[in-house]
Chain A
Amino acid sequence: MELLRFATAGSVDDGKSTLIGRLLYDSKQIFEDTLEALEHSTMLRGEEGMNLALLTDGLRAEREQGITIDVAYRYFATPRRKFIIADTPGHVQYTRNMVTGASTADLALILVDARKGIIEQSRRHAFLASLLGVPHLVLCVNKMDLVDYDEAVFERIKSEFRDFAAKLDVRDLQFVPMSALHGDNVVDRSANTPWYEGTSLLHHLEEVHIASDRNLIDCRFPVQYVIRPRDDNHHDYRGYAGQVASGSYKVGDDVVVLPSGFTSTVASIDTADGPVEEAVPPMSVTIRLADDLDVSRGDMICRPHNQPNISQDVDAMLCWFGERVPLKAGGKYALKQTSKWTRALVKDLHYRLDVNTLHRDERADSLSLNEIGRVTLRTTAPLFSDDYRRNRATGSFILVDEARNDTLAAGMIL
């Protein structure tokens, strides 16, 4: 059974919670005691029935304010796949939450209300999903029951969204007309939309092809940990543990170790269950090399004829999450990329991007909380990186406050 991670974006008004509630309920993932607790808390709030939004409002501050603050993770499975939902609230801290949820997602679901059509928020969510390189996008045109399941409404929203998405880098875009409340086209295809020729949402989630979204070409193995047992049975054992970021490693492959540039061959690929012939993402393995080299955490094992960019000067799109101080040219931060920490100086802020209009403001001299812009960084040690579009694992980094240790920014290398 395969694992699919998807992010949902939209506000409570779009029926996102109802949709998630329905996916969980129809796949029998909401338990009776959870439902009981839900009825109870709905009643305590002086409301009637069952407020499905309360399912995701886990924290007291959220319930008190009637909003969702943080990304909530939900799980369900069908006989075909296991799903992890990163449920991102649409209104508060939207950029931070959407970026967090989308960063690991295979697919993003964006909900729009059929009566309202594409609004600013829908464009913003689509842009962020594309910026974070989510390979598959599904626009759920919800509340079709309130527009009499009118095909013309659906087609109008579809074409408007297509026009906007053409400006973005979206590889796979699907549209589903639905009513989460009544279940139309959520699990099963609905008789109310005979004009719709696509599949139900759940069917799409079960079938969408994700195995080839992985980069199996560029071999990148960031060394996480060096395993040296130093006991009698494994006296000379020296293995480089890590998770394959991209590419495919086989025993006998010629490799080069960065930054030293020394070459060797893969002697074996070990796991506790025994050696394997080939390692692909996202496998966690231990690679042993034929030669005795000095390799440590933060190094990268690649192929001699396919190496990442090795540079101390990096151009990137940056999403700023710092609450206390804005990002400005001249700022210095700790930077983590793959398994490596280094320091970075912001040399230049080129522009701030308006996530609603995609307008570039080149006069901007700072990025505040939840703002996005293009920067040039200079790092104290060279990064082994790829263009984020080509490689999400080696093209991403975070910036961290050197004194307070807060995570301040997510960066995507250009």
Chain B
Amino acid sequence: MHRLISHLDALESESIHLLREVAAEFERPVLLFSGGKDSVVMLHIAKKAFWPARLPFPVMHVDTGHNFPEVIEFRDSSVDKLDVNLVVASVQASIDTGRVAEDPGPRAARNRRQPTPRLDAIDAHGFDAVMGGARRDEEKARAKERFFSFRDEFGQWDPKNQRPEIWSLYNGRHRKGEHIRVFPLSNWTELDIWQYVADKEIELPSIYYAHRRKVFRRDGMLMAVTDFLQPGEGEEVFEATVRYRTVGDATCTAAVSSMAVAIDDVIAEVAASRITERGATRADDKFSEAAMEDRKREGYF
């Protein structure tokens, strides 16, 4: 028996501990699942935490309507296989009912419209704990995020009003209408996620691996031509071999040039990368230095 615990085992164990705390202490938890690699890993670990029982909570997808079809297919097949309940909070539905207005113009991205439908769904279902796959290494406002992040009745995050988190004694107590965002993967890095995916042979949406695709260049990033995103004037369309480091709203998530067709290639690429995954591929984080912090306050992750 080797008693040395590897870093992936230690991280997995920490995440399992968090997921079980949530299941034990909250009445109506929900796990966010987009089909993105972090949420896939989180769901995988959640399944392990309660094995051989089923997941004791539903999963929720905040659907911007601007999805990569490969990711939606993957989402649906994962949910079927796991036999869990899927709640879809739709940005399109919020736009249709007038709860949300779309940004005007051809560059309208819907990522920043996610808070309203998410908070509406949290209210409608009475969710009191919302688990997300955000990691602290993604961005510097997130570097100070807690595992259990308190949100007031408006879903707001107040960085000055967060509870100190000591040892692994999480305090999820809250009043009616308030809820807690829980981040079981806080201590994982992008490389840890990929190493774990390789180690556990976890299936991911195909667009995480290199494939041929029609793209055009915008603000220095490669954007895919989709039903929701067309090139503007002077933006030349060409075919390239690309993959995605994050999969989100297709209008603001960029691809990177890559020949990494298999997991080991991806790991080698991530280990050698000199650009963060959000910096490389998220047009919406470029609005301002405090872009992420502002969206967190509004209830974005």
Name A residues whose Cβ lies closer than 8 Å to a Cβ of B.
Answer: 1-3, 28, 31-34, 37, 40-41, 55-61, 69-75, 77, 81-82, 84, 96, 99-100, 103-104, 211, 216, 224-225, 227-231, 233-234, 237, 241-243, 248, 270-273, 277-278, 280, 282-284, 286, 297, 321, 334, 336-337, 339, 392-393, 396-398, 400, 405-407, 410
Among B51, B165, B175, B191, which residue has the most Cβ atoms of chain A within 10 A? B51
Cβ contact within 8 Å between A55 and B166: no
Number of chain B residues whose Cβ lies closer than 8 Å to a Cβ of chain A: 61
From A57, A73, A336, give the contact of B171 (CB < 8 A). Answer: A336
Is there a chain A Cβ closer than 8 Å to B124's Cβ?
A: no
Contacts of B143 in A (CB 8 A): 56, 58, 72-74
Q: Are A224 and B166 in contact, with the CB atoms below 8 A?
A: no
Q: Is the CB of A284 within 8 A of B49?
A: yes
Is residue B234 contacting chain A, with contact meaning CB distance below 8 A? no
Q: Which residues of A lie under 8 Å from residue B171 when comparing CB positions? A: 336, 398, 400, 405, 407
Q: Are B173 and A82 in contact (CB under 8 A)?
A: no
Docked Cα-Cα span, A339 to B6, in Å, equals 25
Distance (Å) between the CB of A106 and the closest chain B CB?
Answer: 11
B151, chain A: closest CB distance, angstroms: 12
Does the CB pair A336–B14 fall under 8 Å? Answer: no
Set B13, B51, B141, B164: member contacting A282, Cβ < 8 A: B13
Q: How far is the CB of A279 from chain B (nearest CB, A)?
A: 10
B9–A2 contact, CB under 8 A?
no
Residues of A within 8 A of B5 (CB): 2-3, 280, 282-283
Contact between A99 and B166 (Cβ–Cβ < 8 Å)?
Answer: yes
Q: What residues on B are CB-neighbors of A55 within 8 Å? A: 140
Of the candidates B20, B166, B289, which one forms a contact with A241 in the assembled complex, judged by CB atoms under 8 Å apart? B20
B-side contacts of A70, CB under 8 Å: 144, 159, 162
Question: Quick one: CB contact mask for B171-182 with A, threshold 8 Å, 1 for yes?
Answer: 101110000000
Contacts of A32 in B (CB 8 A): 274-275, 279
User: Which of B1, B6, B171, B174 has the largest number of chain A CB atoms within 10 A?
Assistant: B171
Any chain A CB within 8 A of the CB of B10? yes
In the complex, per-residue mask of B116-144: 1 if CB is within 8 Å of any chain A CB, else 0: 00000000000000000000110011111
Task: Write out the residue numbers on chain B whose beta carbons fall within 8 Å of the beta carbon of A283.
Answer: 5, 9, 13
Question: What is the distance, in angstroms, from A321's C-beta to the closest C-beta of chain B?
Answer: 5
A-B contacts, 7 of them at CB < 8 A, read A77-B7, A96-B164, A99-B164, A224-B17, A278-B3, A282-B14, A339-B21
Q: Tell me the dominant secondary structure on chain A's binding face.
A: mixed
Q: How far is the CB of B289 from chain A (nearest CB, A)?
A: 6
List B17-40 residues whose CB lies under 8 Å from chain A: 17, 20-21, 23-24
**What 4 A-B pairs are tightest by C-beta distance, nearest first?**
A33-B279, A58-B140, A272-B48, A272-B51
Pairwise interchain contact B164-A2, C-beta atoms closer than 8 A: no
**What are the residues of chain A within 8 A of B16 when measuring CB–CB?**
243, 284
Are B173 and A334 neighbours in the complex by a CB distance under 8 Å?
A: yes
B141 lies within 8 A of A41 (CB): no
Q: Which residues on B sit within 8 Å (CB–CB) of A270?
A: 51
Contact A3 B164 (CB under 8 A): no
Instruction: Tell me the bound Cα distance from A15 to B225 in angstroms.
Output: 48
Shortest Cβ distance from A92 into chain B, in angstroms?
11
A216 touches B160 (CB 8 A): no
Contact A280 to B3, CB < 8 A, known contacts A100-B166, A336-B171:
yes
Residues of chain B within 8 A of A81, CB atoms compared: 7
Q: Indicate if B276 sits at the interface (CB-CB under 8 A).
A: yes
A225 lies within 8 A of B23 (CB): yes
